[in-house]
């Protein structure tokens, strides 16, 4: 199996970062639809992707984006209803989905309103299996997975010290995160590492120490879970702003 192709690009500020990320998503969508007839992307939550989603919804990109052939999923979700202020789905809906002609059947959200987070994970696993026509042991092959980076090195809902960082079989998990006193529902490392491309979008000086540790530090995925993301046969792309990159030796 081929090794992942890794690339790092440093942008001047958050606005330039969002533009570069939006262009990357649009190009990968066009390529996927041209090659395979559809584009399947896992969206990221948190604050950094919001500007990216707004650009995708704007006329410069939206008018030529292949929405009818696009399917959107989520890399992780908070254990809250879809209308909750903390919901990753709600953020993406308000910034992007409400403003583009994406068919309702192409939106595959995590059913995080389920009172049982473990059951929500099981239900989302079934959603993945149906959407990708997977056998029990097969992994979905996303065209693109969008990820962020927390100031302590987490990504998706893979947090330091979590057993899910070392997961090898399940496609979806519902770890309890002691630091947050809450459950999360998340795609697991096998799924992330089976993607055709993973794009990290990282902004802000408060991420700089974690970014340097993840990219240039010794492998310690239990301490810096984002290090576990290394696509086995795909591209690993880092788009970061200058504030986040300030501690990188190669920036």
pLDDT (tens digit per residue) in 54-76: 999 999 999 999 999 999 999 99
Domains and CATH numbers, the chain: 19-177+198-204+223-234 (3.40.50.1360)
What is the Cα–Cα distance from 164 to 224, expressed in whole angstroms? 13
**What contacts 25, CB < 8 A, 6 or more positions away?**
41, 52, 56, 144, 146, 199
Q: How far apart are the C-alpha atoms of 91 and 142, rounded to whole Å?
A: 21
Structure tokens at 113: 């309103």
**pLDDT reading at 12 higher than 70:** yes
pLDDT score at 47: 87
Q: Is the pLDDT of residue 1 over 80?
A: no
Write out pLDDT tens, residues 79-124: 999 999 999 999 999 999 999 999 999 999 999 999 999 999 999 9
% of the chain residues with pLDDT over 70 = 97
pLDDT at residue 64 in the model: 95
Can you give the pTM of this predicted structure?
A: 0.96
What are 183's two structure tokens?
Answer: 């459950």
122-180 confidence digits (pLDDT tens): 999 999 999 999 999 999 999 999 999 999 999 999 999 999 999 999 999 999 999 99
Strand partners, 208: none
Q: Mean per-residue pLDDT for 10-21?
A: 97
Query: Residue 174's CB: how many other CB atoms inside 10 A?
Result: 24
Closest CA to 111 of 174, 175, 43: 174
pLDDT at 237 over 50: yes
Average model confidence (pLDDT) for the chain? 96
d(CA 228, CA 193): 8
């Amino acid at each position: 199996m081929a090794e992942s192709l890794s690339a790092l690009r440093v942008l001047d500020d958050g606005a330039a970062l969002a533009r570069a990320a939006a262009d990357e998503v649009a190009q990968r969508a066009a390529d996927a639809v041209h090659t395979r007839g559809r584009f399947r992307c896992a969206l990221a939550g948190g604050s950094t992707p919001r500007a990216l989603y707004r650009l995708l919804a704007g006329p410069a990109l939206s008018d030529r984006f292949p929405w009818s052939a696009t399917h959107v999923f989520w890399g992780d979700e908070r254990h809250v209803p879809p209308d909750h202020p903390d919901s990753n789905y709600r953020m993406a809906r308000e910034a992007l989905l409400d403003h583009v002609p994406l068919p309702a059947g192409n939106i595959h959200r995590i059913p995080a309103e389920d009172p049982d987070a473990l059951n929500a994970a099981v239900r989302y696993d079934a959603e993945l299996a149906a959407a990708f026509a997977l056998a029990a042991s097969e992994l979905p092959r996303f065209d693109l997975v969008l990820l962020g980076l927390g100031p302590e090195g987490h990504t998706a809902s893979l947090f330091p010290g979590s057993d899910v960082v070392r997961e090898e079989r399940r496609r979806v998990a519902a770890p309890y995160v002691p630091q947050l006193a809450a459950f999360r529902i998340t795609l697991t490392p096998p799924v992330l590492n089976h993607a055709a491309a993973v794009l990290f979008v990282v902004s802000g000086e408060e991420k700089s120490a974690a970014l340097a540790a993840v990219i240039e530090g010794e492998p310690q995925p239990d301490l810096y879970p984002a290090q576990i993301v290394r696509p086995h046969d795909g591209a690993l792309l880092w788009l970061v702003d200058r504030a986040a990159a300030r501690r990188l030796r190669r920036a």
